[in-house]
Amino acid sequence: MNIIQNQSLKNYNTFGIEAKAIAFVSVTSVEELKDILSQNNEIFILGGGSNMLLTQDIQKLVVHINLKGREIVEENNDFTIVKAQAGENWHEFVLWCIDQNFGGIENLSLIPGNVGTTPIQNIGAYGVEIKDTMFSCEALNKKTLAIETFTNAQCKFEYRESVFKNELKDQYIITSVSFKLSKRNHNVSTTYGAIETELQKQNIQNPTLKEVSNAVIAIRQSKLPDPKELGNSGSFFKNPIVSNEIYEKAKALHPEMPHYVVSETHVKVPAGWLIEQAGFKGKRFGDAGVHKNQALVLVNYGTASGAEIVALSKNIQETIATQFGIEIEAEVNII
């Protein structure tokens, strides 16, 4: 195990923020991870670095989860259960599943980050969430150093939420995730507007897994910046879920406001729309900015600090609260 002092984290966070770890280690086995935990009380777990904003140097040992491997653990004629280690790149895993003709996660193509973080915030896009196919996940209990298995139900998934962000926050390190995927009669989900339009453009009637994935990739590439070219963490905010009362008040002033009904008492409002209406889309403040094609995404044009991005996000939150009476919450973890 190689512990590096004063490691720059610029290449380990998709926002491309310059910050340092006083000490850094990359672990490639669960045994190594247990060793580290038994010797260090204070550690910071780093996955793919695609859902965090660094606002300071990290004064703890940063443990980069670099566990690799994927295997079929169970299968029958219709389904397979595939287990991927936490450090596998998510998109590469999706493409590998599509190549094996395993269906269920094709709509989640091109999402940055690693497999291990997907259950934490129940990643989702184009009408599909990880909770729809996640069978179970294994996680290391930081106190007991035992590996525990969580079923789908035990993860308590909700929109961009799970038990690991709430009552079990910071108590577990996810080491692997298993997915139950279809081997035939794939139930492809193309009802999300943009996918349907993309497939129609190409005259595709009964899309294969690969065709759905390609459509999703084309949509994402047209709207979302590639972190390799422009630092970002995907959607910076969650779409707010508000009471009917708050929604009605805002709607009275802004009748064209889109919304999706989530329950009898609550609706979800697209934060991207609110941010665009508030005039922030495409705006730049030094090297911190709001993406020109998708207002939910904050970007780093090069040398923005975490504090500058946070200042921009606060400005956006306050403006939206004043204009619409709606609170929007960061999806990204601010460190």
Residues with a catalytic annotation lie at 160, 235, 331
Q: To the nearest whole angstrom, how small is the minimum distance from the Cβ of residue 250 to ligand EPU?
A: 15
Measured from the CB atom, is 35 or 270 closer to ligand EPU? 270
Summarize as ranges the residues that interact with ligand EPU (CB under 6 A).
125-126, 224, 234-235, 238-239, 258, 270, 272-273, 276, 281, 294-296, 331
E strands, the chain, are: 4-8, 20-27, 43-46, 52-53, 58-65, 70-75, 79-85, 124-125, 128-129, 134-141, 147-151, 172-182, 231-235, 241-243, 260-261, 266-268, 284-285, 288-290, 297-300, 333-334
Measured from the CB atom, is 79 or 159 closer to ligand EPU? 159
Q: To the nearest whole angstrom, how small is the minimum distance from the Cβ of residue 251 to ligand EPU?
A: 15
Measured from the CB atom, is 27 or 53 closer to ligand EPU? 53
Contact between 22 and 6 (Cβ < 8 Å): yes
Q: To the nearest whole angstrom, how small is the minimum distance from the Cβ of residue 190 to ligand EPU?
A: 13
CA distances to 88, 129, 267, 330 from 259, rounded to whole Å, are 35, 19, 6, 19
CA neighbours closer than 13 Å in the CB half-sphere of residue 7: 20
Q: How far apart are CA 237 and CA 274, in angstroms?
A: 11
Q: To the nearest whole angstrom, how small is the minimum distance from the Cβ of residue 114 to ligand EPU?
A: 14
Measured from the CB atom, is 20 or 238 closer to ligand EPU? 238
